[in-house]
Amino acid sequence: MNIEQIVKEVLSEIQEKPNKNKSYTHEYRTKHLVYEKKKQVGVDQPKDYEYINEVIHKTPARIGIGRSGTRMKTKNYLDFRVDHAAAQDAVFKDVPDSVLESMNLPILHSRASSMNEYLMNLDVGRRLNEESVQWLQDHMETGKQVQIIISDGLSSTGVEETIPDLLPSLVQGLKSKNINMNDPIFIRKSRVWIQDEVASLVDCDLVISLIGERPGLATAKSISAYLIYKPTQDSVEADRTVFSNIHDGGVPPAEAGAYLAEIIEKMLQLKASGVKFSQLQ
């Protein structure tokens, strides 16, 4: 089964999502302050309006916004504040339990007891707490080929918006290739290197971490995929392969899941990841 077929099947199985661009009702507007972002040319009397308008709709960059004196215009300043707030929310809020339960993901925890500790101390996000270690030992099978980890990382929004489409595509892609795997798990306040400890506990061949990316003002919904073949305590960044910019405005989640399944199959065949995998291809 090729990538295109996997994507089509997954998309047909995913329930239709509510239209995020639908108009707000009058009742909603009377109870809430609604601010709607809309891209438009802000330059006063541009020489080529059509060209600027075309370009600003092809990039998330803040171009063609114009100015009022030495400052940006009020609308653009408000847009900036909205994007900044979304980026902060992505970092500091948690992925709702309801979202994780809908995907049947068990919730484990790193050693970070708070978001402040997670942000200030890198090491606590790289290890599981004792309860999570015990849970893996009690509930997970060992000796599987692949273990999937979902981590909130620095964008809970990225997980909430992206994983529901990406995960089914990835799982279906692996199953179509007869690659056996453990059930996916979710780890709160975790970093990429926690995958090394998980791999050692479940004794898998390859582990893939789907983790929220550091949000920017262009998007707060992006995640990255980190893959490593048989990590050890001596593993370094060069041993990992990473694919980033997975979100609706970048690499579509369902397409990314199917593609990652293809990459995992190749890594298992070559028994390598990171720089070594790149050299062997």
4 falls in which pLDDT band (50, 70, 90)?
A: low
Q: Are 61 and 218 in contact (CB under 8 A)?
A: yes
Q: Are 40 and 64 in contact (CB under 8 A)?
A: no
Same domain, 111 and 158: yes
Q: 29-55 pLDDT, tens per residue?
A: 555 566 666 778 888 888 888 888 888
- Tokens 């509510």: give the residue: 18
What is the chain written as a DSSP string? Answer: --HHHHHHHHHHHSPPPP-TTPPPPHHHHHHS----------SSS-S-HHHHHHHHTS-SS--S---BTTB--HHHHHHHHHHHHHHHHHHHSPPPHHHHHHTT--EEEBS--SHHHHHH-GGGGGSB-HHHHHHHHHH--SS-SEEEEEE-TT-HHHHHHHHHHHHHHHHHHHHHTT--BPPPEEEET--TTHHHHHHHHHT-SEEEEEEEPPP-SS-S--EEEEEEES--TT--GGGEEEEEEESTTSB-HHHHHHHHHHHHHHHHHHT--HHHHHHH-
Q: Binding residue per annotation — 213?
A: yes
Same domain, 181 and 195: yes
Question: Is residue 63 one of the residues assigned to a domain?
Answer: yes
Same domain, 49 and 140: no
Same domain, 109 and 221: yes
Nearest to 80 by CA among 249, 216, 220, 217: 217
Same domain, 62 and 110: no
Same domain, 75 and 195: no
Domains in the chain: how many in total? 2
What is the chain's mean pLDDT, rounded? 84
Same domain, 132 and 223: yes
pTM: 0.75
Same domain, 114 and 207: yes
Residue 194: domain span: 95-280
Same domain, 45 and 119: no
6 falls in which pLDDT band (50, 70, 90)?
A: low
Q: Are 152 and 191 in contact (CB under 8 A)?
A: no
What are the angstrom distances between the C-alpha of 88 and each of 35, 113, 155, 215, 217?
18, 19, 9, 8, 10
Mode of pairing for the β-strands spanning 146-151 and 185-188: parallel
Question: Is residue 26 one of the residues assigned to a domain?
Answer: no
Q: Binding residue per annotation — 130?
A: no
Same domain, 142 and 103: yes
Question: Is residue 18 one of the residues assigned to a domain?
Answer: no
Question: Is residue 15 one of the residues assigned to a domain?
Answer: no
| Domain end marker among 92, 116, 144 | 92
- Tokens 């030992």: give the residue: 137
- In CATH, what number is assigned to the domain containing residue 42? 1.10.30.40
Question: Is residue 249 one of the residues assigned to a domain?
Answer: yes
Quote the pLDDT of residue 41: 83
Q: Residue 171 is encoded by which pair of tokens? A: 């799982």
224 falls in which pLDDT band (50, 70, 90)?
A: very high
Same domain, 145 and 59: no
Same domain, 142 and 221: yes
Q: 108-149 pLDDT, tens per residue?
A: 999 999 988 988 998 999 999 999 999 999 999 999 999 999
